[in-house]
Each structure stands twice: as structure tokens, then as C-alpha cells.
Amino acid sequence: LAKHWWEGKDAQGNKRDVTATTLEIPLGSGPYRIKEFVAGRSVVLERVADYWGKDIPVNVGQNNFDQVRSEFFRDDTVGREAFKADQLDWFNERSGKQWSTAYDFPAVAEKRVLKEKFTNSSSGRMQGYAFNLRRPLFTDIRVRRAFNLAYDWETSDRLLSNGDYHRDNSYFDGIPEFMATGLPEGAELQILEALRDKVPAELFTTPYK
């Protein structure tokens, strides 16, 4: 967002406070602007006809809709039912179990609704449990490892999610340039050598996973 906008004044002449919440539509610089919205329920974006970056090669062929309307649902079940009732054009399913069991309605069988999985390798993602290391109990790595060994992820995935999930071994799983693979080598090893007395010894002998 433009700095001069945040440091300026609103329509009532009041200086904007970047630390405060607001429903004032901000000034943007992308291919769409906010046309209208209902707080907590929906937002309509309209295409900027004279968008400065429309002819940049990476943008050619994109941003083709004049308007994009997004509906927000506090409960995924309500959103899913709205999609099944033909109230939405697109629904992003985030539950492996629902993906396998909730899409047996006629429109799917008739190919009027298409189910597709898209591999996302553009950014890291993580879903899991995080330990509060401020609590003394969890500062012991052996305790954290014990939890990991006790949790039967494979059975949980098979019974609760129909085997649709993949167990990540890195915060950057699926992005070879960033995820940890094999043993440290090259420049990475040089950096870690200077910290050898501060990191676990197995870091140099056992691939991380």
C-alpha cells in the first residue's frame, strides 16, 4: 500500500492511523480495486482498466475477469453447501475427509462440477502441532521426539482423511531450493561448523526428517 496514502487524511479530513482498524477502502496498485464490500461477508473486486502492469509479460493472459466476488463463510460446511446449491463458482476444499466423502451429489456425476487437485509448489506450507518452548517441559528435545513417535500419523491419515495427506519433512516441503535434504555440505556445512558446539551432533550425521 502506498505510504503517502497511509500518512494522508481520510474523506473526513482525519489523519489516518496505520495501527488502527478501518473499513475505509485503501489505495492499491494491483490489477483490481475494491468496488464494494459487506464486512465479514463479501467483497467485490473490479478490474482496473488502465492497470500499469497489464502488459508486463508475467501478467499477459491473466486478470481476465471484469469483476470477482468473494463470499466469506465462518463455517466451511455452510460454504460447501452453498457451492453444492450452485451459489458459488469455486470452492477451495481444505479437508481430505470432505474431499473424499462430501462430493457425491448429482452435479459431480454429471460433470457440471469438476474436482481437481492442484499441486502448490510456489510457497511453503505447514499444518501440524507446535510446542510452546516457553514451558520447561517442552524444552527437552527428547520429550518432543517422544510425542512425534507416539503419534500414529499414518493410521490417523488413513482413518480420518482417507489417506489424502502427505507427511511433510520440512516447512518448505515440495520446494527443493529451500527444503532440507541429505546432510549439510558446501557453504551450509561451513556455517554449521562454526556452530557445532551449539547444535545437535546428529545434524552432521543423520539427514533431517
pLDDT tens by residue, 55-90: 999 999 999 999 999 999 999 999 999 999 999 999
Average pLDDT over residues 88-116: 92
- Tell me the pLDDT band of 121, cut-offs 50, 70 and 90: low
Pick the closest to residue 185 from 160, 204, 164 (CA basis).
Answer: 204
Residue 154, SS3? Answer: helix
In three-state secondary structure terms, 101 is: helix
Q: Which residues contact 16 (CB under 8 A, 6 or more apart)?
A: 5, 6, 7, 8, 9, 10, 22, 24
Instruction: Report which of residues 36 and 100 the model is more confident about.
Output: 36
This prediction's pTM = 0.68
Average pLDDT, the chain: 90
pLDDT of 33 above 90: yes
User: For the chain, what are the domain ranges?
Assistant: 74-118, 136-204
